[in-house]
Structure 1
Amino acid sequence: MATRTQPPWKEPTSSVPPKFKVYNSLTRTKNPFIPLDPEGKVVTWYSCGPTVYDDAHLGHARNYVTIDILRRIVRDYFEYKIKFVQNVTDVDDKIILRGRQQHLLAGFKQKNPEVTKEVVEVATKAFDAYVTKNLPLLSPNLRPEDFNKESAEKYGAVIAGKALDGESSPGDNEAKIKMHLKTAGAAATALLAPTYAADDFYMGMEDVLLPYLDSLYASSIDANDHSVFTKLTQKYEARFNEDMRNLNVMDPDVVTRVTEYGPQIVEFVQRIIDNGYAYATSDGSVYFDIQSFEKTEGNHYARLEPWNRSNQALQAEGEGALIKKTSEKRSDADFALWKSAKAGEPAWDSPWGPGRPGWHIECSAMASDVLGGQIDIHSGGIDLCFPHHDNELAQSEAYWNQPGKAQWIQYFLHMGHLSISGSKMSKSLKNFITIRDALARGDWTARSLRIIFLLGGWHDGVEVTDDLSKAGSSWESYVSNFFYKIRDLEIHPNTGSNGTEDEKLLQSFEAAKEKLHNALADSFDTPTAMRAISDIITSYNSADKSGLSDKVSFEIARWVTRMVRIFGLDGSADPHDGGIGWAGTDIPAEAKDFVYAASRERDEVRHHAIAGDLSPELLTSIISKDKPAAQQEGAAAPYAKVLSTFQEDLKSLAEKKAPAKDFLALCDRLRDLDLWDLGIYLEDRENAPAMVRPVDAELRTAREQKEALAKQKREAREKREREEAEKKAKLAEQAKISPQEMFKTAEFSAWDADGLPTKDKDGADVPKSKMKKLKKEWEKQKKLHEEHLKSVGSSA
């Protein structure tokens, strides 16, 4: 079907001027954002949610965290009220297939708890079927013991990280081959195990048994027993919600689920038929009629990606592998609104017979039900443009049937992919890292992951690299260190200000605010906004602090705090409460009284110990400024103990009249051990009190590197000392030998009175040149031996 001219985008009208522009996939350009709300205050937003059949991975985090960032900016920076709706896809081809396969495998394992000969026969057939389907270059009926050798021969280029042809760059096809090689390899290993432990065997065979058992027994599933599938979806929806909250993604205002919208979806499909834009087939399916839709003036199909409207691969992917094929489709491009029931699938009643919703219809029906016939924003991953969102758009406008008058969605926002080694992160490619694994291992935190998304454009792809991770860590540390300095001003105020430094910094501050505002108003340009935050921190760090007022410092800090909170970098903290800092830049409240007291005392003790005037009377005066740490309970107890122990140790050193170096060592111990172990560090500064700050990842890394270097130097020193000791011991043993005896070996046959050899072992005279060399060795040994005898004599 040829691409038709696309209709002009209808800009919403409003008397309220737009606050920002946004890249709109409908126009493929930036458009002024104008809400449909006549008062320009409320924004309706529908976002495609998860398909819940497995744990969410970092690719999902890219989508949902980025949408959350945009949502927060629209709400908290541009101050719109948002009604945010997100669906949960709990019925689709992948869910049906995965739920059914898991159900069948569980039944098979229950019937066969031990690995018998019959189980191995089934597993071998499953292995053969998997290899035949997914690795066609390998021999049919390949023996498991030959798998590694033949894989290396036929797929060597792919294993080596190249394209299958050995020349071009590898892509998703090679990623799939690697996945299939890994799966088949695990199965081959399981089949070759000399003894079969059931758990290990099934673990290795699982991914080849799943499709094989499904091919045999799928039709045995009761279509009315939805628990086969909801058991899977309820589990993974709960886990998805946990993951999102752990990433500080706000909950939707409304959540819709396909399984809860059966009647509404049926009604939605029926109305499209009634409007003349869909037709039922004899098998009980219903298809969207693209030709009839486009015959009506003002209706257009594939508005988001018109170049893909004839892409059969994408069309087939959108229809799903489980749909019945029918010759009654009027066009190959027509897509299913309702799929007739098929053995092994869940089914619901409808006027056309038992069946289930098509993939795209669910979002149209649910979004329309909650938000109506016109919606401001629709968001999702960029791979959803075609066919999913294009089909949604067409069928929704066919439902509302207002050709030329109203467009269903005003702004489509699509998030770029997250890639690893050039390949999109995907469940189907099994090249993903789950969110919970990444967080549990410490690869990422909710903040660090969000930062790397902010450092890239929301509509652009993000490639996970070491450089990107370092850039994110660097930005986070830069902001944290700024907050540490501002926190310190609360304890050690700066009393000086000359006005000039304030004025200079305020000029930089205004420039940063303007830069950030213009960036966010220009389609949420967060990379530029992040640089604006870095810029003002750089200006602050460069300012002459002695001439800077705390008022200006705090004003800048409050603005930085507000912005990082708007971006979601500080949990659920309120961006508008006037606070300063983010989580991790302040010590616990219960620690403050005791830690600040210990830090003050330590500063004074160090100062006087270095000056050499630390008298017992002066020490008593220093300690008496703080009340003794009374018995504390609960969270304050360890901090109180550190203060009281430090004070007692100071008194003990004073009573002993210890040298200054002992007092300095005690101060170092307080910093490096006692407080460090409680997660607090005292950062010593020249001509200023120590900065009290939490121990963070940067400090830990620096200490680990320092300790590793110290260990390396210590081991090198110990090695030198050991070699020196061995050398001395060897020399001591050698010294015991008399020079008269040192050459009496089989190498010679005659010696003079001093023990110097005169003839070699064959009776020939020793050459003069050699005699000269031997004489030198003899004299050296004579001296060494005489020293040994002296040492023995004096010892005796």
Structure 2
Amino acid sequence: MSKTVREWFPPHGADSPKEENGRSTQVLKLYNSLLDERVPFVPADGPGSKQISWYTCGPTVYDVAHVGHARNYLTFDIIRRVLEDYFGYNCLFVMNVTDVDDKIILRARRNFLLKEYMNQSKSVDEVKTYAFESVQTSLNKQTHKYGEMTGELSDLISKDSTSSNETLDKSGRRKINELEGALKNEAHKLKKITDASAYLQSLTLTGTDHAADMDSILSVAGDYMAEALDTAAIKQGINVSDATIYRAHAAKFEADFLEDMDSLGCRPPDVLTRVSEYIPEIIEYVQRILDNGMAYESNGSVYFDTRNFKECGHTYGKLKPWAVGSALLASEGESNFETSEKRTPSDFALWKASKPGEPFWDSPWGHGRPGWHIECSAMASSILGSQMDIHSGGEDLKFPHHDNELAQAEAYYHHQGCRQWVNYFLHTGHLEVEGLKMSKSLKNFISIKDALQRFSARQLRLMFALQTWNKSMMYGEAARTEMTAREAQLKNFFQNVEVVTRNVQQTKVVARWTADELDLSQRLQAAQKLVHERFCDNIDTAGALDAISALIKHVNLYLAKKEGGSANASNGAPPQALLLRKAAAYVTRILSVLGIVDVPADRPGFSDFPVAASGENKGFELLDTMSMFRDEVRALARSKAKHADVAAVCERSRETLSATTSMSGKAAEYFSTFTSFLNEIHSLAVSTADLKDILGACDRLRDDALVDLGVRLEDKPDGKAVWKLDDPATLRAEQAERAQQASDAACKKLQTQLTLKQKDKEKYEKLLALPPVEQSLADRYSKFDAVTGYATHDKDGNALEGKAIEKAKKDLEKAKKVLEPLTKKLAEDPDFLQKLNIEIDALTKQIEALRG
């Protein structure tokens, strides 16, 4: 297999190192799909320019957007933010919406036909029969496709194994790997259809609930029925000619997609283009390619001439040269459009003659509509011209979509000598579920709206930022676990810095630096350098976040070392708030660049994770006073102090509260909570209640009243509590998780006890079922001594003599030993078995109650 040469022309200055003051500096490198390697990023206008252009393939709006789409658009939103907010580029960002496409036409028409079919008052049995027939038809088609792909892969592997080359060319390996991945996807589809067939065969209808029966059938067979209805309608010449059906379908899902992007916090594009609004530009684009001799007309359609394109000196298949000529590696939209009108299999449609029942526009070649790829070339060219800096999209768009885009643009700008329409092509890796890419066709997708029911937009963004953007990632528990841990680390970091800052503001003390501060400052500078290196290296957001995580760990170690220090402490100086604020400001800046936080205007240096905001001093003073009052009460209760001492503390605090006036908002809520808590403690002290009740009241303040106010109260080993602001829902979720863990632990402990008692019961019941000792030996002995119990005669009535007597004694002792545990238990407590049953029943009910 011959080696494939990739074509890329570096922008002017991309091949020379960047220098400042005579020294080479680190440059930004991006993984460019045109070369499949990292290359220096330089704008088309030259190394000194900060102006860049970027076109990204937007959605084909035929269905809801899923998390695989989120991976693409949210990831590129992160990269865009890094380029704009960290590196300072001014980016013109263009995104299209494909609202005219085969998938939209098929989905809208099929949905319409299925709805019409279901409105024909069909019986449930009729619908079930049609559903089964439709599934079987799809099963036959998929089985054939799977067989074809298996055959092609086998042939390719066989050819390579007999090749004279010692090593397989990189492109050859890529083709085999991609076919293996595609085969896995097709196997998944085959299983889905097989499962649907089996489900319908085993489906038992209610016979009484018509709607429920219909839903059961449509839930697994609706798509297959719609496809069968569409095939039948085409054969019968039935047209769905109402153009509003297609337009309404696309408009619905476009609005849905844009709403999802807003929910994810993605910056909107600077320019949004729709295919339906660029038909004149698309027609002109096709015409010029025809005029340049790199397209041809056939029966009202226009096809791109890949052979003539190459003869004119251009390269076809720049992104995936190994996929050229393989229909099985083409995306579904292209491979489904087979026709005898094409001159070569690699040719593709620029303009499609309309079929009955499809939307169309007038053109020089008759009624028709744009091909799949021409829209992006035409729309991007109309905004960005003959060259752009960045073009982006998902991995699955490389071939044929993006390769065909490149070819169309070069053919359009042929007389300008265009050999490279895009300087940097960026592609996100697949989002995989159980080893398969997330896809609507595979029916394994999770919609963005469903994902946002489980994760916040921040959590999804953090999850994707923790992955290498151009590599495949698994969507599952592992990614969720890492994201949850990182989010908790970030939130705790900001809250800890907030506590230190608040305390220092109260004491007004700024101590001189020690070796600890010098070390932390160096750690901060090292993190800043490493983050910059990671961003320069293909915008490695995961590496940058690792550097941030390492910095936070150093801050935590610093705080742990300083814990207990205060302005008047003899055991060392307090933590340095100014240095901590500097670290927090830097962490905030990087998180803001990634879009993970929005920096509040009134709180520079802190994130929008819940922390105290300025202008709420009175409320914070109340929280401080309440926390200190609770610390003092807990200390007294733990030391078994007199109730009068607790009452005295209450009186002093009541005087402090009475001096607090003019409160509103949160401060008023804190005041009310503090007052109720103080009154409860005073009442318990005056009534000389058990000191445990006072401690219980302190716990309830922490676990209930303050949680509802969004205040996290953490009891420290030194007896002093620290308060932090947090989301009440988060606090409740943590409480529920802790309660569940405690319940699980209790269940496990009770289950262990229950298992042991059940084994005891089983053992003793078996012993009770055994016959008396003499009866158990009756198969060997016929007579026994009335006093000793030893056997005297064998089973045939013969008197035992010599060694036979000794053996009989051993047999008796062995039989007695088996029954000894039961004998002993009965001697101790004749009702022990009944009591054991009661204990087993009680343990079973306790476990059921905890699990319930």
Q: Give the TM-score normalised by structure 2.
A: 0.75
1:32 maps to which residue?
40
Equivalent position amino acid for 1:475 in 2: R
Aligned to 1:491: 502
The residue that corresponds to 1:74 in the other structure is 83
**Does the 8 A contact of 2:289 with 2:408 survive in 1?**
yes
1:295-334 correspondence to structure 2 within 5 Å: 295-297=311-313, 299-315=314-330, 317=332, 319-322=334-337, 325-327=339-341, 329-334=342-347
Q: Distance between the aligned counterparts of 1:668 and 1:397, measured in 2?
A: 72
Cα deviation, residue 71, structure 1: 0.7
Match for 2:292 among 252, 264, 275? 275
Q: Determine the structure 1 residue equivalent to 2:630.
A: 602
Tell me: CA distance 1:419–1:373, structure 2 relative to 1, closer, same or farther (3 Å): same
Matching residue of 1:475: 486
Which residues in structure 2 correspond to 1:513-552 (within 5 Å)?
513-543=528-558, 544-545=561-562, 546=565, 547=573, 548-552=575-579
Q: CA offsets, 1:766-785, max 9 Å, x none?
A: 554499999x9999999999
* Aligned residue in 1 for 2:59: 50
User: What corresponds to 1:161 in structure 2?
Assistant: none
Deviations 1:207-237 (A, max 9, x none): 2311111111147565752222222222222
The one-letter code sitting in structure 2 at the alignment partner of 1:481 is N
Deviation (angstroms), 1:248: 2.0
Give, in whole Å, the separation in 1 of the partners of 2:181 and 2:377. 41
Find out whether 1:617 has 2:648 as its counterpart. yes
Letter in 1 for 2:99: D
1:671-710 Cα shifts (integer Å, max 9, x gaps): 1222234443211113374222326378346523443156
- 1:172 and 1:423 in contact (8 A); partners too: yes
Distance 1:210 1:662, change over 3 A: same
Unmatched 5+ stretches in structure 1: 139-166, 727-746, 748-761, 786-796
Tell me: CA distance 1:580–1:587, structure 2 relative to 1, closer, same or farther (3 Å): closer
Once residues 491 and 100 of structure 1 are traced to their aligned partners in structure 2, the CA distance between those partners, rounded to angstroms, is 63
Answer yes or no: is the 8 Å Cα contact 2:494–2:607 preserved in 1. Answer: yes
User: Residues 270 and 620 (structure 1 numbering): CA distance in 2 closer, same or farther, change over 3 Å?
Assistant: same
Superposed displacement of residue 481, structure 1? 1.3
Distance 1:549 1:721 in 2: 56
Per-residue deviation at 1:381?
Answer: 0.6
The amino acid that maps onto 1:399 is Y
For the 8 Å contact 1:448–1:473, the answer to whether it is kept is yes
Q: Which residue of 1 aligns with 2:580?
A: 553
Whether 1:665 and 2:678 are equivalent positions in the alignment is no
| Aligned twin of 1:416 | 429
Counterpart in the other structure of 2:402: 389
CA contact (8 A) 1:9 1:26 kept: no
Cα distance in 2 between the residues matched to 1:232 and 1:720: 60
Distance in structure 2 (CA, Å) of the matches to 1:660 and 1:721: 38
Q: Could you say what secondary structure the match of 1:433 adopts?
A: coil
Q: Aligned pair 1:213/2:229, yes or no?
A: yes
2:276 pairs, out of 250, 259, 266, with 259
What SS is found at the alignment partner of 1:654? helix
AA partner of residue 389 (structure 1): H
Match of 1:581 among 573, 595, 607: 607
Q: Which residue of 1 aligns with 2:29?
A: 21
What's the counterpart of residue 674 of structure 1?
A: 705
Q: How far, CA to CA, are the matches of 1:377 and 1:783 in structure 2?
A: 87
Choose the corresponding residue for 1:563, options 590, 595, 598. 590
Q: Residues 600 and 607 of structure 2 are in contact (CA less than 8 Å); yes or no, is this contact kept in structure 1?
A: no
The 5-angstrom pairing of residues 732-751 of structure 1 reads none
Aligned-pair identity in percent equals 38
**Structure 1 residues 212 and 615: alpha-carbon distance in aligned structure 2, compared to 1, 3 A threshold:** closer
Name the amino acid aligned to 2:196.
Answer: T
Q: Quick check: 1:63–1:381 contact (8 Å CA) kept in 2?
A: yes
Contact 2:320–2:398 (Cα < 8 Å) also in 1: yes
Q: Tell me: CA distance 1:319–1:405, structure 2 relative to 1, closer, same or farther (3 Å).
A: closer
Are 2:740 and 1:686 equivalent residues in the alignment? no
Give matches, 1:33-432, under 5 Å.
Answer: 33-37=41-45, 40-112=49-121, 114-115=122-123, 118-119=126-127, 122-135=130-143, 171-190=184-203, 194=207, 196=210, 197-218=213-234, 222=239, 225-281=242-298, 283-297=299-313, 299-315=314-330, 317=332, 319-322=334-337, 325-327=339-341, 329-402=342-415, 404=417, 407-432=420-445
Deviation for aligned residue 1:525: 1.2
**Residues 1:415 and 1:608: Cα distance change in structure 2 (over 3 Å):** same
How many residue pairs get aligned? The number is 715
CA distance in 2, matches of 1:637, 1:198: 56
Compared CA separation, residues 716 and 126, structure 1 to 2 (3 A): closer
User: SS at 2:119's partner residue?
Assistant: helix
Secondary structure at 1:413 match in 2: strand
- Please, which moves more after superposition, 243-252 or 92-101? 243-252
Q: Quote the Cα distance in structure 1 between the aligned partners of 2:300 and 2:238.
A: 20
Change (3 A) 1:398 1:127: closer
Contact residue 46 and residue 367 of structure 1 kept, 8 A:
yes
Q: Distance in 1 between matches of 2:744 and 2:333?
A: 57
Deviations 1:289-335 (A, max 9, x none): 222222334x3221222222232323474525246x134x2322111
Provide the C-alpha distance between the structure 1 equivalents of 2:492 and 2:660, rounded to a whole number of angstroms.
30
- Structure 1 residues 117 and 551, CA gap change in structure 2 (3 angstroms): closer
Q: 1:574 to 1:412 in 2, by over 3 A?
A: farther
Structure 1 residues 4, 579: CA separation in 2 closer, same or farther (over 3 Å shift)? closer
Return the offset for 1:360. Answer: 0.6
> Normalising by structure 1, what TM-score?
0.80
- Quote how far apart the aligned CAs of 1:204 are: 4.4
Judged with a 3 Å threshold, the aligned counterparts in structure 2 of structure 1 residues 137 and 486 are, in CA distance, closer, same or farther, namely: closer
Q: Over aligned residue pairs, what C-alpha RMSD do you find?
A: 4.0
Name the structure 2 match of 1:732: none
Match in the other structure for 2:747? 712
Moved more, 354-363 or 299-308: 299-308
Change (3 A) 1:213 1:49: same
Instruction: Give secondary structure in 1 for the equivalent of 2:713.
Output: strand
Q: CA deviation at 1:37?
A: 4.3
Cα distance in 2 for residues equivalent to 1:780 and 1:707 = 35
Q: Which residue of 2 aligns with 1:699?
A: 734
> 1:451 Cα shift?
2.2
Question: Does structure 2 retain, via aligned residues, the 8 Å contact 1:601–1:622?
Answer: yes
Check conservation: 2:62, 2:253, Cα contact below 8 A: yes
Give the direction of change, closer, same or farther, for the CA distance of 1:342–1:586 in structure 2 (3 Å limit): farther
Corresponding residue SS for 2:390: strand
Taking a change above 3 Å as real, the CA distance of residues 89 and 516 of structure 1, as seen in their structure-2 partners, is same
CA distance in 1, matches of 2:672, 2:824: 68
* Counterparts of 2:542 and 2:105, CA distance in 1: 40
Most deviating of 87-96 and 627-636: 627-636
Q: Is the 8 A contact 1:277 1:398 kept in 2?
A: yes
Q: CA distance change for structure 1 residues 208 and 296 in 2, over 3 Å: closer, same or farther?
A: closer
Distance 2:749 2:349 in 1: 72
- The residue aligned with 2:673 is 642
Q: Which position in structure 2 is the counterpart of 1:9?
A: 9
Report how far residue 531 of structure 1 moved.
1.1
Pick closer, same or farther for the CA change 1:425–1:118 going to 2, 3 Å: closer
CA contact (8 A) 1:562 1:575 kept: no
Whether contact under 8 Å (2:581, 2:605) holds in the other structure is no
Q: 1:91 to 1:236 in 2, by over 3 A?
A: same
